[in-house]
Amino acid sequence: MQGLCLLTLTALIPQFRPSHCNAPQKNMGKCERASKGQWALLMLVLLFKLIGSAGARPCSMAFGADQFQREGGGKGSKEKNRTESFFNWYYFSMSVSLLLAVTVIIYIQSNVSWSLGFGVCTLLMLISTILFVAGASLYRHDSPEGSPFTGFAQVMVASIRKWNLSLPSDAAKLYHGQSCSNTPVTDRLR
């Protein structure tokens, strides 16, 4: 949210960005360069955007899937159907938002103003943040069990220990109890 707010401010406030270069293409070397403060602000904006994206994108799908019960139920269980519906709607909404971003928002930024385009994005992010926080009491909060570093370390140790093992002649031994009758086994990724 902070990254979008700062990005919108850089489009709104002329002192936060270099002036426009109206010179012909051959005289581009005479355009005003960004000051150290403007560069620092841009790097801060990018840092906030990086941290926000890295924290939200990988967690949103998993958090949404955590809202459905996982215990019990067979293949046709109600919760399984709800979970599948969630993923369908999640990918649909992500695709629609991407489509709107590369059409409507870019049109606004190209033909109306950059500040309005960034402002629309900031306003939509503010609305989504308010809705998320308002519904926080309704969410299922699963407490973490153990350290994430333990599982990572176990995988790394197992990978190092099994690095030079040869493949078994029977492909069924590669799968832990799963059927592999129609799964081809190749050495391509070895």
Instruction: Say which residues have a Cβ less than 8 Å from residue 72's Cβ, sequence separation at least 6.
Output: none
Position 157 pLDDT exceeds 90: yes
Least reliable range by pLDDT among 9-18, 45-54, 75-84:
75-84
Question: pLDDT of 115-139, one tens digit each?
Answer: 898 899 899 989 988 998 999 888 8
Question: pLDDT of 158-180, one tens digit each?
Answer: 889 888 887 777 766 666 545 55
What does the angle CA 35 – CA 36 – CA 41 come to, to the nearest 5 degrees?
Answer: 100
Domain assignment present for 168: no
Domain assignment present for 51: yes
Domain assignment present for 99: yes
Domain assignment present for 100: yes
pLDDT of residue 92: 94
pTM, entire model = 0.63
Question: pLDDT of 66-107, one tens digit each?
Answer: 888 765 555 557 777 888 888 899 999 989 999 998 999 999
pLDDT of residue 108: 92
pLDDT of residue 58: 80
Total number of domains in the chain = 1
Domain assignment present for 103: yes
Domain assignment present for 171: no
Q: Are 118 and 11 within 8 A, CB to CB?
A: yes
Q: Are 146 and 153 within 8 A, CB to CB?
A: no
Expressed as residue numbers, the domain containing 102 is: 2-19+31-138
Q: And the tokens for 166?
A: 């040869």
Domain assignment present for 174: no
Domain assignment present for 59: yes
